[in-house]
Amino acid sequence: MRNVQDRALDIAKMIDHSLLHPALTDQELKEGCEIAAMYHAASACVKPCDVRQAKLYLEGSDVVVCGVVGFPHGNSTIEIKALETEQVIRDGAVEVDMVVNIGKVLSEDWDYIHREIQTIVEIVKEHGAILKVIFENDLLPDDRFKIRLCEICSACQVDYVKTSTGYNYVKGPEGCYSYQGATEHDLLLMRRHSAPEVQIKAAGGVGNLDAILRVRELGVTRVGTKGTRAIVEEARRRFDHPY
């Protein structure tokens, strides 16, 4: 049996440590990168303005920088998303999480969506980086939108499809805002309709070890969460003393 540290590291290397809150301060960015490095996360996922500083904080660690593009609403033009992609890569990101244009998806302007994703894929691949495309499933009321996105992402050869940003809440009929994030239904749907080489990233509702273990069984290989410290500490305890 593999030792506790190796098994905990497997979990850590599924995590993109999320540092994306709009009110995140410079000090919180530094502390967040230190946590990502200490617990050997796969990446620190940061806003475009923070990529350069995050790269400095993570220097010498095994954690890479992931920069977001068109975050969180996906409304920028293709040209601006392309420029933002170039910027975050130039500043040190080797992974890019790009929010698809949600309004164009709901309008079923699939030519636009294909052109947008293909444009960003070409930039990312030119620089040897990887691309995760965020669908924002909470805003897509019908599975057919998600299925078509999986098909387009597969055709464009993206590296990951991702459920959510964590920052777009849906107003219900009673006037309250809610957010589901990565549901089992959506993860199974995305795995089923994506090419085998396209990986799945879950974000939203995966803030503890049990949730990560559950989505891993569904085919998820990366998750976005702020809870890295607690998750990895729990993995070390649990794998050392299995229930």
Q: Compute φ and ψ for 90, nearest 5 degrees.
A: -60, -35
Looking at the DSSP assignment, which residues form a beta bridge with residue 18?
A: 45
pLDDT band at 73 (very low <50, low <70, confident <90, very high): very high
Question: Could you tell me the pTM of the whole model?
Answer: 0.94
Kindly provide the b/e burial profile for residues 159-190, where b requires at least 16 CB atoms within 10 angstroms of the residue's own CB: bbbbbbbbbbeeeeeeeeeeeebbbeebbebb
Domains and CATH numbers, the chain: 4-240 (3.20.20.70)
Confidence of residue 179 (pLDDT cuts 50, 70, 90): confident
Mean pLDDT of 211-237: 97
Count CB-CB contacts under 10 A for residue 197.
Answer: 9
d(CA 216, CA 182) in angstroms, rounded, equals 12
Can you tell me the distance from the alpha carbon of 42 to that of 116, in angstroms, rounded to the nearest whole number?
Answer: 26
**Quick one: what percent of the chain has pLDDT higher than 90?**
88
CB contact burial 73-95 (16+ within 10 A = b; e otherwise): ebebebeebbebbebbbebbbbb
Q: Catalytic residue numbers? A: 97, 162, 201
Is pLDDT at 214 greater than 70 in this prediction? yes
Q: Percent of the chain scored above 70 by pLDDT?
A: 96
C-beta separation of 158 from 199 below 8 A: no
Residue owning tokens 């499933």: 137
Residue 163: the pLDDT is: 97
